[in-house]
A and B are shown apart, each in its own frame.
Chain A
Amino acid sequence: MRLSQWLRVAAAATFFVFAFHAELSADPPHVYALVGGTVHPVSSPPILNGTVVVRNGLIEAVGTGIRVPADAVLVDTTGAHVYPALFNAQSAVGIPAAPKEDPTAGKDPGAASLAAARLTFAPDTLDSWRGAGVGTLLSAQKAGNFQGGSVIFNLGEGPLDQLVLRSPGSVQFSFSTRSWGIYPDSLMGAIHLARQSMLDAAWLLDARASYDRDPRGKRRPETNPDLEALAGVLRREVPLVFLADDEVRVRAAAEIGQQHKVRWIVSGAAEAWELADFLSESGGAVLVSVDFPRPPTIAPEDQPLRAVRKRVLAPTGPAELAKRKVPFALVSGPNLGAKEYMAGIRRSIEEGLAEDAALRAVTLAPAQMFGLERQIGSVEAGKIANLMVTDKKFWEREAKLRNLFVDGRQMRIVETPDPAETPQLAEGSWDLSVRLPEGEVAMRLDLTQQGDQVSGSFSGDRGSGSIGEGTVDGNRIRFSLAAQASPSGEMSEWRFEGTITGNTMEGSVTSSLGTFDFSGRRPE
């Protein structure tokens, strides 16, 4: 074939691709050339005075001395930094709070339930994440033990099914407990639930295979969508993410993950760094929530050294994991907003994490954990064009986001006021409803606020008493009280953490029986 013939075929092929694409999306090809900045590909050393060409949603070329295509929109990145857009691999963005009448409220949605089916976004939710340079999110439901399949999606525009990178992105498991009398009501019961469920799922997979080979003379295996949803985990197609903060949970996750040779990840993982050697030997990966523990309201003399150690040293955890070569990513967890996420990344660096390790932990590392390293996580030709451009290093406090590309489209950057920094008033009366597994529990609060200190009293279904040493920081409120953990009467400390928006308050409360959602408003 002569060259001219080649060109003709190539032109025809290009035309076909364009025509096909145009028919699907009726879109121009969106060609951009980011020229002049420091490109941080992550997968290779930084490129000074680099160029990145974006076409049709993908990265076409990366390097120095690349000719800018004639049809490209020129984006001058001189003096700026070009990174892959961030991948926050554990969030609850778009996951609606379980409504009252939802039959699964507070219950186990089961492994088969998909987060993708439930996502809904308030109009400006994604703007705040885009504003932090996040291009990809993993969102997961947060109720029950087997919490269902997560969804990993790009923060582009358009219907969700065009944004999804993978669904399910993972199957999520929490070692949470129910109130007394409802299985599992203990941590050891929750560990057994995971252990037995994995055995059951593995059995079902084998039984089905055996039956399909030759059904004659065999009893037909059961149909069970929840167990079948674990098949992808057992086949190593999808990782199993264990929400596991403390050592006991991390060890349980490791045992179950290793037994079934699945891809397992521990998430939250405030104490994982203390088990770094154990984790690197057992082949686990870690999603470290940068929702680092805050000082409690109790006086320092009443805080055991062990608790102080864990709290103060938690932000050194990422550095420790990096040192011991444990694969890890930095995530927001279900409760942090975008700016708090960025502050947590910054804090990890200030507490010893190397800059390049931090960048990897929010880009390529999570992409690898979720099997997306061929699509996102680095600036390489052929990958999805999720890019962010910042005027300073992205994690620096004064850094400003200049451009964000998601799926090769330049996103409008909307300055959203950080709700976390908007001071809210806690003063006054509140009617709270706590969603316990056995039903809603009502509580009336009467709060007095002096500066950022909150005190007052409460009364309701689980007793009454005083509230001491609460705090308000921006829109965040924290306080604790002593009330009955269950109707049978044993007392527990209830620690509330939530956010106030005008006349409403919502968040989570932790008692001796677990962590539950609550919401409240000012009485009319």
Chain B
Amino acid sequence: MRGASNAVAVFLFVASAASPAIGAEREVLIRNATVLTVTNGVIENGSVLVRGTKIAAVGPADSVRASADATIVDAAGRYLMPGIIDAHSHAGVVGSVNEGSLANTGMVRIMDVLTDEDVTAYRQLAGGTTAANILHGSANAIGGQNAIVKWKWGRPIEEWPIPDAPPGIKFALGENPKSSNFNPGGGERPYPNTRMGVEEVIRESFIRGREYMEKWERHRAAVKRGERPIPPKRDLLLEEMAAILRGEVHIHAHCYRSDEILMLMRVADEMGFKIRTFQHVLEGYKVAPEMAAHGAGGSTFIDWWGFKMEAYDAIPYNVALMARNGVLTSVNSDSDELGRRLNQDAAKAMKYGGLTEDEALRLATINPAIQLGLDHRMGSIEPGKDADLVIWTGHPLSTYSRVETTFIEGDVYFDRQRDQARRIELAAEKQKLLDREKERADREKAAAKKNEKVTP
């Protein structure tokens, strides 16, 4: 396994998806698979019909009919599951994932700095991951605005964001925003330096946001009265705070300790907003009922532990304990590497805490879809949802299974056989380019020499 994954790491950088044919109402029939629908159980020897970009029908193989010109994919002996959704990723960001200079950088946008050229996207597809919540880092109490994308490797970046995804923002609590483990710039540690300070940054940001809203309300009222006042200055940071206060933005809050989790929910109640998810949330098991009461989800690592002081109380049972206490729970990667094997982290929740197969699958599919407000289009195999589908060689909760084909909206974005063939083509392309470069350099040298002789 290890050798194989290294080979993938070495070679995949030269591979790219063949541009998928986009036909409005083309049909693809994936038949004879063990279909893990996630929301409606398992269909042995089942078929899924894709029409256009959506799932059109799901059922036992003999009950799903396709038109005569449908593309048939025979998946006998294979497993079919919905694409994995990573609720916490930083892949594809150009430059730093942190605007780490200010305590509140809610104005910066991950979407501004996403590239379609980072091969990490393709590697996610090779692990069955089709969508991700790309977040700002955790250097400050309020970070930047997220981007929720599908890994449409080979397509231009403007096609990657999910158009109806609710906007979100990163918050962060604890050691990172109070600069415990590093010292930016080498100078004095900037404010805040304590958990109290982090709390105050957040509270103050919303007080300022509220004032900003009031300022604009006063202005609009004056205009209504027929006055012509100078409008207030637009402030993109405070506009974001105002959008949060209006309930338009999902907050994904990086956290570890139970006391800070409770703190943020108190501040949210006080200021009048909601926390959509707590991220990492390694002590979520201590305050799961309170999180459930607030309506906050938990998105966590299954077994990362002890990597800093605030991560010492982590237990691998966290997932199961949160899930069984009413918290909508997902596993996430926070890592380009882990992002392509989230199926294995989901499986570990069966060992630690005894989740069922179905509950484990939900951790990486429908649950993150709900957390991101996208379960109407992703997270399960149901008619009407996006055809984001993954064919596995075996049950995806087995560490011996691997991905054969990954579809996004009915198009093939990863295929293991095609990948093998492309490697040869791409190696040839690279050699041709290098030869061209060398020939050019040689020609240039020869011409320069000749010229020297002409004009001594």
Contact = CB atoms under 8 A, between A and B. Distances in A.
B13 A218 contact: no
A88 B224 CA distance: 53
A186 B108 contact: yes
A184 interface: yes
A295 B109 contact: no
A247 B98 CA distance: 20
Nearest to B232: A203
A185 B101 contact: yes
A210 B228 contact: yes
Contact of A211 (B100, B107, B186, B230): B230
B144 A181 contact: no
B429 interface: yes
B interface majority secondary structure:
loop
A200 interface: yes
Contacts of B14: 304-305
A19 interface: no
A350 to B, nearest CB: 8
A311 interface: yes
Interface stretch (A191-199, A261-269, A424-432, A442-450): A191-199
B185 interface: yes
B233 A218 contact: no
Given A182-B101, A218-B230, A305 B108 contact: no
Contacts of A246: 94, 115
A295 B444 CA distance: 14
A12 interface: no
B230 A196 contact: no
B166 interface: no
B233 A200 contact: yes
A486 B231 contact: no
A486 B185 contact: yes
A312 interface: yes
Using C-beta atoms within 8 Å of the partner chain, give the interface range for chain B. 35 or more
B293 interface: no
Nearest to A308: B433
Given A183-B99, A206-B231, A304 B119 contact: yes
Interface residues of A, number: 50
Interface string B152-187: 000001000000000000000000000000111111
Given A192-B107, A218-B229, A186 B184 contact: no
Given A181-B190, A183-B101, A203 B231 contact: yes
Interface-central residue, B97, B112, B426, B437, by most chain A CB under 10 Å: B112
A177 interface: yes
A269 to B, nearest CB: 16
A180 B185 contact: yes
B108 A306 contact: no
Contacts of B196: none
B430 interface: yes
B437 A196 contact: no
Nearest to A195: B236
Nearest to B190: A181
16 contacts: A177-B96, A181-B100, A186-B97, A186-B108, A187-B112, A188-B99, A196-B235, A203-B234, A248-B115, A311-B437, A312-B434, A312-B437, A313-B433, A398-B451, A398-B454, A487-B185
8 tightest A-B CB contacts, nearest first: A487-B186, A187-B95, A181-B185, A181-B184, A183-B101, A189-B99, A186-B96, A188-B108
Interface of A: 177-189, 191-192, 195-196, 199-200, 203, 206-207, 210-211, 214, 217-219, 221, 246-248, 251-252, 295, 300, 304-306, 308-309, 311-313, 397-398, 438, 486-488
Interface of B: 13-14, 94-102, 105, 107-110, 112-115, 117, 119, 136, 144, 157, 182-187, 190, 228-231, 233-236, 426, 429-430, 433-434, 436-437, 447, 451, 454-455
